[in-house]
Every structure is written in C-alpha cells, then in structure tokens.
Structure 1
Amino acid sequence: MNSQKIGFIGLGRMGLPMMTNLLRSGWQVHVFDTSADACSAAQALGAIVEQSVQAVADSAETVMLSLPTPAIVESVLSQLVNGKQVSRVIDLSTIGIRAARRAQEIVSKHDIHWIEAPVSGGVTGASAGTLTLMVSCPAVLREAIEPVLRALGTVMYAGEAPGLAQAAKLANNMLSAAALVASSEAISMAVKAGVEPTALLGIINSSSGRNTATTHKIPNEVLSRRFQVGFANKLSHKDVTLCIEEAASMGIPMPVSVAIREMLAITTATFGDNADISDVARVLEQWSGITIEDKAA
C-alpha cells in the first residue's frame, strides 16, 4: 500500500475512472465533488470523501483536478490554496493556455507548485489506465509526480513553462475533432454516390485519408449505430473554441477550426447538450439523406 495521500477533485466521466486507477495503484485518495452520487460511487470504491475542496487540500500534499471549464478550475483553486497540506496541484483538465498561466500565478502566491497534465484517450482510456498525459512543469518536479501520473497512462512532456501542455492538448483536440467532422462529410458524399460504407472505410484506411475517425470512431460507433465514443460533443466544442481563442490572442487566424466549431455547434443544436462527438455524423446523414451503417451486421 502506497503511504502517500492523493487529493482528487472532480469525479465526472473522466475523473471517477482516473481516481479508481489511483486507488488500484495503492494510493489513499481523498475526494470531493459537488455531486453526492459521484461521491457515493467513489466511497464505494474505497476513496475517502471530504466535505469541501479545502478539506481535500487539508488532507493531501498532492491534489489532482479533473474539471470541465477554466472558470470552475479558478473557483476551486481559490478554495484549495487555503489548505493546510497541499503543496502540488496537478490539473488534468483542459482549460487553455492563458487560464493555465493565471492558475499558476494563483497557486504560486501560496508556495504551491502548478503541474499541467491534460489527458487524451477518453473514458475508455481513463478506465483502462492508458491515457496520454501531456505534462508541463518544472523539471525538478518530474520525479515526484511521475509515479502518480503513470497510474493513469503514458506521460509525455511538453516543456516546463505554464501553458505548454495546454497548447499541446488544444492542438490535439482540434485535430481530433477536425478528423471526425471532415471524415463524416467525405464519407457521406461517397455513400450518397452509392459506395457501401464498410468497403469505403477499407479503401480509406489503406490509403492516404486514414485517420483516427476512419479507423476507430466511425467503424465502432457510427456503422454500429451506437454513437458512444464517450466524449461529449459539447466538450469538444469547448476545446475547439479555446483553441481558436488562444490562436486569436496570438494573432493567428484559424478559418478551418472555425468551420469545425460551427459543425460541433450544429450538432449540439440538433441533438442536444448530451450529444456524443460521433453525433456529428448523424448531422451529415440527415443533410445527405443517407445512413452510414454496416448493412451486413
């Protein structure tokens, strides 16, 4: 049993399975979430439920965050910095470059170290402990934090300065969304023309158009009609918006990203706030008057 205590705040679709893997790796985990159901689920798995953010920070030197927006991260930090034990914050959230730099300024005033570790791999990766963690922090902190991070997946460093891991994460998520939107659009055209979807994907995946949407998301979730990649379309829209805003702050136009964001907004408007990222294919299906499915299944 690892004697180190870890704090964990945010027990959503990603946070709860990540916290579970920390427990499996032997850490004592002190948790808090505004959802009583999430706290009950964590307690049933063996976590110690605290009654507030500060109570978590009173209990553990290292506190991890898995939260949905920059505003919520900043709100949590305003409470966390008053903790008696906390000396390191590891943020697993996707909040953008400027928000990460503000967060680092907030915690550093209280002699707390800031570590960014946004993740990629979705709920499946969070559950399996196979996430990619994009990390930026001072090199002197790496040895101390790596055992914790390795319980969640593969650690890859983006640099030492605050904001660098966020920049890498936003670039990755924009490309991931772009691949799915563009692939759904192109496949809809070919299916409308009469190409059978499974045959089409075989051709694409043996050719230069191959990408993660054509190899995984569309075969597994669209052809099957499950539409459950496990990443909310609304969160993808948030990440692409952050990417565009960060680029704009640096004077970089992103016209393709703007078009991707519009498709994600249309998907939310069509299928609601609970839409999965794969539901973008259903929008294209409706517009095209076709269905992208494996008719042999």
Structure 2
Amino acid sequence: MSSAADPRSGLTTLGFVGLGAMGAPMVRRLLGAGHRVLVHDLNAVAVAAAVSAGAEGRGSPAAVAMEAQVVLVSLPTPDVVRAVALGAGGLAEGGALQVYVDLSTTGAQVAVQVAAGLAARGVVALDAPVSGGVAGAEAGTLSVMAAGDPAAFERVRPVLQAIGSNTVLVGEKVGLGQTLKLVNNLLAATTWAAACEALAMGAKAGLDPELMVGVINKSSGRSFPTERFAAGPVLTRRFDFGFRMELMAKDMRLALQEAEALGLVMPTSRAAQMLYGLAMAGGGGKGDVTKLARVTEGWAEVEIAASRRNEG
C-alpha cells in the first residue's frame, strides 16, 4: 500500500502538523525524499519557511487530513496533541486520513486515548516518538520508536526512514513507543543532572573544565550528555543544543507519572527532577536544557567553561 498520490506529479502526498525545532527539519527531509508535504502550524513564519522549502500550507489540521492519507505530527504537549488530533478543526475531521503518526513525546496514556478516538473514524494510529535532537532531525539520523499495527508501520516505514536511520517497531500495543521514549529521556535527563553536579565539583576543586570533560568522555563516566551537552554547548557557553528545558522537564514528569502508575519507586530520577524544578523556578524554562549547568555553577561559584588560553 502507499499513501495518496499527487495526480500532478505522482509523488507521495503526506501531511505534517507542527513545524517547531524538530518538525521543520523533518519536513525538509521528507521534501528532500521526493514527497509532496502539506503542512500546518499556528506560527505563520514557520509555515512560510516550510512553503519556501517546497511544502504547501493548509489552514487547519482538518484541511491537511482532507487531502493526505498519512499525516505526521510533531507537537509540544499532550494537550496540543489531543486538540490537533481530536478537537474542532482537527485531523479526525479530515476525510482522507487513514494513518496518523505521532512523532511527539506525550506519554502512553494520551497515545492510547488519541488512538481510540481516531479508530472511531476508521483511522489507524501509530505512536512513533523520536530521539536524536535537532541535529539528528537535520541529518535524518533520528531514532524512531514506533508502536501499533504492524501493517500500518510497514506502510509508513519508508517515510519514517527518511527522518530516522534507526526506525524500529517496538511493539504492537499503542503507547509502547511513548514508554520507550520516556525511559530514554528520563535516563538522559537524570544523567545530565548528575553530570552538572559532578562537573561543578571538579571545576570548584580547580580542574580545568575543558580537560576534565575531555578525559571523562574517554573514560567510564562518559554519556550522551557529557559528549553532546557539556563538550559543546556548555564549554563554549553557547547553550545551544536545541531542546528547551521545559520540554525535558515535561518528559521527566510524564515518565515519573507512568512509573507511578506501574507501582514503581524512582528515587534517583525524582532527586534529579528537583534540579530541573530549580532551573524552571529561576525562569529557565524557555532556555536550552544545557543551561541546567548554570544551577550547579551558581552553587559552586564557578563556570564550566573552556580555557581561553588558545584565543587569538
């Protein structure tokens, strides 16, 4: 099976709702793969940028789903996902829609609710959250953790492979993709909190931060956060990984809510969550997740910054 074809060009027609930091580069990857892409976002500037890259703008999610049999969404919160999928003017009102693919991180409960709502309209839903950051979206190297109907997954697999080099069906139960993404992000967030404390400790003791991070990243303490958060954005003071603090905090909250529903105690992760709470309380929610280091820098009265000895 294939998704709807544009009679003018024969290219596969896709819908895409949500043109934020992750959605915009994913749309560019889909356009580069030869797809006709119909897009919608509340941000007119984002829509204009996508149109300039070759996409076609539409005035609502419903308008997108009136033409595209396969629609992907990349949205910031569970409430927005529910509204786009099932609300007034939402995807459920589009008569062409057959397969809905949610690339957002919303939690298993919302994935199940949305899938049930769309099933009543004859639409198959896949939850397929992604990991790899903006750089991965730009390069098409994301991990895509899909869950749901295997036939629907096979139908959209070539589409997902345009954005993700590691595209996997993790289970047939809707929501399992969300659970795996939350497990992944909880681990990354907790590891980053511990790294911020450890790096501030080393800097306070007098270690050169650049040397310290370099050694760690060749030793047993290395992790994605030390390699991709500390080694670049923090040492350079650019704080530009490209993922907002409030979104990481949201993912932690969703993960811990799911853990609680499973009857699990997560003391280490809950302790790490406190550090994000302090950063958020200090007004850092809209800032990059790498700015979490500023909390522990403030306590230690140090900066985890690269040496300036080679400047000039």
TM-score range, shorter chain: over 0.9
CA change 1:30–1:291 in 2 (3 A) is same
Query: What is residue 71 of structure 2 aligned with on the other side?
Result: 63
In 2, the alpha carbon distance for the partners of 1:219 and 1:272 equals: 21
Q: Deviations over 1:26-51 (max 9, x none)?
A: 00001111111111111111111111
The more displaced of 251-260 and 286-295 is 251-260
Q: Which amino acid is 1:117 matched to? A: A
> Are residue 171 (structure 1) and residue 179 (structure 2) matched?
no
Query: What is residue 137 of structure 1 aligned with on the other side?
Result: 148
Query: What is residue 160 of structure 2 aligned with on the other side?
Result: 149
Query: What is residue 54 of structure 2 aligned with on the other side?
Result: 46
Secondary structure of the residue aligned to 2:168 is: strand
Cα deviation, residue 257, structure 1: 1.6
In 1, the alpha carbon distance for the partners of 2:136 and 2:10 equals: 23
Query: What is residue 128 of structure 1 aligned with on the other side?
Result: 139
Query: What is residue 296 of structure 2 aligned with on the other side?
Result: 284
Q: Which amino acid is 2:45 matched to? A: D
> Are residue 29 (structure 1) and residue 37 (structure 2) matched?
yes
Cα deviation, residue 2, structure 1: 5.8
> Are residue 221 (structure 1) and residue 246 (structure 2) matched?
no
Report 1:229-268 matches (<5 A).
229-268=241-280
Moved over 3 A (4+): none
Report 1:190-209 matches (<5 A).
190-209=202-221
Are the equivalent residues in 2 in contact too, given 1:8–1:30 (CA < 8 A)? Answer: yes
In 1, the alpha carbon distance for the partners of 2:172 and 2:274 equals: 34
| Structure 1 unmatched runs, 5+ | none
In 1, the alpha carbon distance for the partners of 2:78 and 2:45 equals: 23
| Structure 2 unmatched runs, 5+ | 1-8
In 1, the alpha carbon distance for the partners of 2:121 and 2:283 equals: 44
Are the equivalent residues in 2 in contact too, given 1:2–1:26 (CA < 8 A)? Answer: no
In 1, the alpha carbon distance for the partners of 2:10 and 2:35 equals: 5
Are the equivalent residues in 1 in contact too, given 2:119–2:125 (CA < 8 A)? Answer: yes
Q: Deviations over 1:250-280 (max 9, x none)?
A: 1112122222222112112224332110001
Are the equivalent residues in 2 in contact too, given 1:2–1:27 (CA < 8 A)? Answer: no
Q: Deviations over 1:106-126 (max 9, x none)?
A: 111111011111010111111
Paired residue total: 297
Task: Return the TM-score normalized by structure 1.
Answer: 0.97
Cα deviation, residue 127, structure 1: 1.2
Secondary structure of the residue aligned to 1:102 is: helix
Secondary structure of the residue aligned to 1:185 is: helix
Secondary structure of the residue aligned to 1:224 is: coil
Secondary structure of the residue aligned to 1:184 is: helix
Report 1:82-121 matches (<5 A).
82-121=93-132
Q: Which amino acid is 1:124 matched to? A: A
Cα deviation, residue 203, structure 1: 2.8
Task: Return the TM-score normalized by structure 2.
Answer: 0.92
In 2, the alpha carbon distance for the partners of 1:265 and 1:37 equals: 31
Q: Which amino acid is 2:164 matched to? A: G
Are the equivalent residues in 1 in contact too, given 2:153–2:169 (CA < 8 A)? Answer: no
The more displaced of 117-126 and 199-208 is 199-208
Are the equivalent residues in 2 in contact too, given 1:271–1:279 (CA < 8 A)? Answer: no
Are the equivalent residues in 1 in contact too, given 2:146–2:153 (CA < 8 A)? Answer: no
Are the equivalent residues in 1 in contact too, given 2:279–2:285 (CA < 8 A)? Answer: no
In 2, the alpha carbon distance for the partners of 1:271 and 1:203 equals: 32
Higher-helix-fraction structure:
1
Secondary structure of the residue aligned to 1:203 is: helix
Q: Which amino acid is 2:294 matched to? A: R
Say what the alpha-carbon RMSD is for the aligned residues.
1.3
Secondary structure of the residue aligned to 2:282 is: helix
